[in-house]
Amino acid sequence: MKKGVIFLVGVGLLFGIFWAGATYVQDQREVKPYAFELQSADGPVRLSDFKGKIPIVYFGYMYCPDICPTTLAQAANALQKLPKEEADKFQLLFISVDPERDGLGDLKEYAQYFYPDALGLTGEAPALKEITQNYGTYYAKEYIENSGVDYTVAHTTFLYFLDTQGRLAHTIKHSQSPDEIFRALQKMLIIAKNE
Amino acid sequence: MLKTFFAALFVCATSVFAAPIEVSDAYAREVPPNLKNSAAFMKIANTTTEELFLLGAASPVATRVELHEHVMEGEMMKMRPVEKIAIAPHAHTTLEPGGLHVMLIGLNAPMREGETIVLELYFSNGQKQTLDAVPIKSVMMGMKKHKM
């Protein structure tokens, strides 16, 4: 009888360990794809630096005269609609996929032009390639002939919203208006409350 | 003396009629100080019965001015130069964010809201339109302050 009990307890314990381990690994797998380490004018920046905050990530490039400023302005506009304590929970991140042209100092100024707390980041091409692949975002350099613009960067226009633990919670594929972003912000605040 | 008078009258008379191409609601975009490119948007109306084209533009504020369009391929947004922009007869074409625009490349001066720029447009019918005071608007719409 006693041996049986010990055996059952042993099995139960092992099962418990595996289950806990599996959940831990699963969590790590969810977080890992969206983690990054990039450069800013003030030093390296990691996604994990914003644990506890709600990161909003946008990939683009500064040479883009229209889509990028529009999207960033819409995001900033949506943030400004929130009371300050709520807006401060978010962290707007602009990641340039054009490190050849976008310097770190310029990126800092550019990001802050839209929103004072926003950060402008970039990195080396291989790092960017990996990060954008993980996020499911695409970009491609297109050389243009007969243009004052040597090349443009075709890119997806997604806005990514991550939760306070660094997991992807929401994506807006092509933001049409600040209202859409505002609704996403409110949704993220509710998610953060329940975490 | 009379000849000059009639010549002047003639010139005045012709300007009373609608120009073949009318440009309205033109504005350029304010950009952060270290950004070298900007864009201008507008509405172009063709009052004639023939299709007309915007062939190009120039501005003292930029080293080079080109016409560009945005095209969504799959999920990627692509921007590329176009040789001309068509305006159908008795219709209008709108250059707006996310679509067609006049791209101002290599700015010579900062573009700040409240100021204006000069933009020259060249059309396929030989018409040259000079917009003397295209306002610069900020892309940040709405209030800048947080709701308290």
Write the ipTM. 0.71
Between A17 and B59, the more confident residue is B59
End-to-end CA distance of chain A: 44
Of A62, A84, A148, the CB nearest to B106: A148
Are A30 and A42 part of one and the same domain?
no
B residues 9..28 contacting A (CB < 8 A): none
For residue B145, tell me if it sits in a domain. Answer: no
Are A149 and A185 part of one and the same domain?
yes
Are A68 and A160 part of one and the same domain?
yes
For residue B78, tell me if it sits in a domain. Answer: yes
Q: Is A76 on the interface with B (CB under 8 A)?
A: yes
Interchain CB distance below 8 Å, B76 and A84 = no
Are A58 and A142 part of one and the same domain?
yes
- Whole-model pTM: value is 0.78
- Shortest distance, CA A163 to any CA of chain B (angstroms): 23
Residue B106: CATH number of its domain: 2.60.40.1890
For A92-147, how does the pLDDT look when each residue is reduced to its tens digit (9 = 90+)? 999 999 999 999 999 999 999 999 999 999 999 999 999 999 998 888 888 887 78
| Token pair in block for residue B141 | 């719409």
CA distances from A82 to A76, A85, B146 (A): 10, 8, 7
Looking at the predicted structure, is the pLDDT value of residue A30 above 60? no
Of the candidates A146, A190, A152, the residue with the CA atom closest to the CA atom of residue A60: A152
Are A106 and A188 part of one and the same domain?
yes
Please give the DSSP secondary-structure letter assigned to residue B89: T
d(CA A78, CA A37): 27
Of B63, B75, B101, the CB nearest to A66: B101
Q: What residues make up the domain containing A102?
A: 37-193
- Shortest distance, CA A7 to any CA of chain B (angstroms): 56
Q: What residues make up the domain containing B25?
A: 20-137
A residues 151..190 contacting B (CB < 8 A): 152, 154-158, 173-174, 178
Query: Do residues B113 and B99 touch, judged by C-beta distance below 8 A?
Result: no
Are A18 and A43 part of one and the same domain?
no
Are A27 and A60 part of one and the same domain?
no
Are A95 and A159 part of one and the same domain?
yes
For residues A156-177, average pLDDT: 88
Of the candidates A187, A194, A140, the residue with the CA atom closest to the CA atom of residue A159: A187
Q: Is B103 on the interface with A (CB under 8 A)?
A: yes
For residue B12, tell me if it sits in a domain. Answer: no
Q: Is B145 on the interface with A (CB under 8 A)?
A: yes
Are A162 and A181 part of one and the same domain?
yes
Of B76, B103, B106, the CB nearest to A154: B76
Number of domains composing chain B: 1
Interchain CB distance below 8 Å, B139 and A87 = no
For A78-104, how does the pLDDT look when each residue is reduced to its tens digit (9 = 90+)? 999 999 999 999 999 999 999 999 999
For residue B2, tell me if it sits in a domain. Answer: no
Interchain CB distance below 8 Å, A65 and B76 = no
Residue A55: CATH number of its domain: 3.40.30.10
Query: Do residues A160 and A168 touch, judged by C-beta distance below 8 A?
Result: yes
